[in-house]
Amino acid sequence: MDVAISGGSGFIGTAAAARLGRRGDEVRMLKRGEVVIAAVNINLAGENIGRRWTRERKRGIVESRVETTSRIVDARPRVLINASAVGFYGLRGDEVLDESAPSGSGFLAEVTQQWEAAAHRADGFARVVILRFGVVLARDGGALRQMMRPFRFGVGGPVGGGRQWMSWIDREDAVRAIEWAVHNPEVRGTYNITAPEPVRNRDFARALGRAMHRPSLLPAPGFALRILFGEMADEMLLGGQRVVPARALRDGFTFRYPTLESSLAANFAT
């Protein structure tokens, strides 16, 4: 299979390219701004959202996603597998959110709505798959590597009160979901790519502490996070979504790491 990946040099893209390559697919990693139409186009492009959101940063976050997607769609691919995120649902407390849940409010919800709308312009001529990723976990990068830092020094713990939900996915399952979407032509539409068992942040902290053999008792104060990160703290650190992959499970995707304990055990096995 001829596959072109936009954003392929990132945390998920490099792992996805390696997995597809091992399968025997011919994978092309596209440079920033480059558009090459292949049998399957995978779009993972987008600026990092994990820093304080200034007005300029917000503009870059939106443009890096929407403009890249629009350029790909304008070239009329036959298959488009486009990344999105569970931020689509906004902050919804304890509400269980499957793929049928409506979008929410907030900056991340607005970004993902625009991102997905750009991809859906291809619905008339392409098989379009939208993958709404949760927090992607792998020890060598992304959110987990950042979360590990305070635990290494014995000062890890929950964020704020720790009651907020974390919808997460092991990176191996994230790239397996991409592979599943590439090689199953009946897969189309929107899928939550999150493990079947979301957890509260305080439970995540306990599990990470156990995996690292470190204490997990010291919370990161919410007021300090708001001072450091502003609006980003409320949406990404102190808030969350309780998302479940109902449609992915119904359509036959299986998770290698369905529980947080299984994912962390694999990540810290060596």
Q: Does residue 270 carry a pLDDT above 70?
A: no
Q: What Å distances lie between residue 155 and 79, 147, 151, 191, 214, CA to CA?
A: 46, 11, 5, 36, 9
Whether residue 255 contacts residue 129, with contact meaning beta carbons closer than 8 Å, is answered with: no
Return the CATH class of domain 2-267: alpha beta
Q: What Å distances lie between residue 147 and 139, 201, 204, 209, 243, CA to CA?
A: 10, 11, 10, 10, 21
pLDDT at 50: 86
C-alpha 131/C-alpha 169 separation (Å) is 12
Whether residue 40 contacts residue 2, with contact meaning beta carbons closer than 8 Å, is answered with: yes
Q: What Å distances lie between residue 98 and 101, 108, 242, 245, 247, CA to CA?
A: 6, 17, 9, 6, 8
165-166 vs 199-200, strand pairing mode: antiparallel
Provide the whole-model pTM: 0.96
- Residue 31, helix vs strand vs coil: coil
Q: Does residue 265 carry a pLDDT above 80?
A: yes
C-alpha 232/C-alpha 245 separation (Å) is 25
Q: Tell me the average pLDDT across 91-116.
A: 97
Q: Tell me the average pLDDT across 25-34.
A: 92
C-alpha 191/C-alpha 167 separation (Å) is 14
What is the pLDDT confidence band of residue 74, given thresholds at 50, 70 and 90?
very high
Q: Tell me the average pLDDT across 165-175.
A: 98
pLDDT at 51: 87
C-alpha 207/C-alpha 85 separation (Å) is 24
C-alpha 153/C-alpha 218 separation (Å) is 11
Mean pLDDT, the chain, rounded, equals 95
User: What length is written for the chain?
Assistant: 270
Enter the DSSP assignment of 159. B
Domain boundaries, given as residue ranges, for the chain: 2-267
Paired strand residues for 28: 4
C-alpha 87/C-alpha 143 separation (Å) is 15
Tens-digit pLDDT profile for residues 234-261: 999 999 999 999 999 999 999 999 999 9
C-alpha 172/C-alpha 70 separation (Å) is 28
C-alpha 151/C-alpha 264 separation (Å) is 14
C-alpha 37/C-alpha 3 separation (Å) is 9
Q: What Å distances lie between residue 119 and 20, 31, 113, CA to CA?
A: 22, 19, 10
C-alpha 193/C-alpha 170 separation (Å) is 10
Q: Tell me the average pLDDT across 174-180.
A: 98
How is residue 116 written in tokens? 């997905």
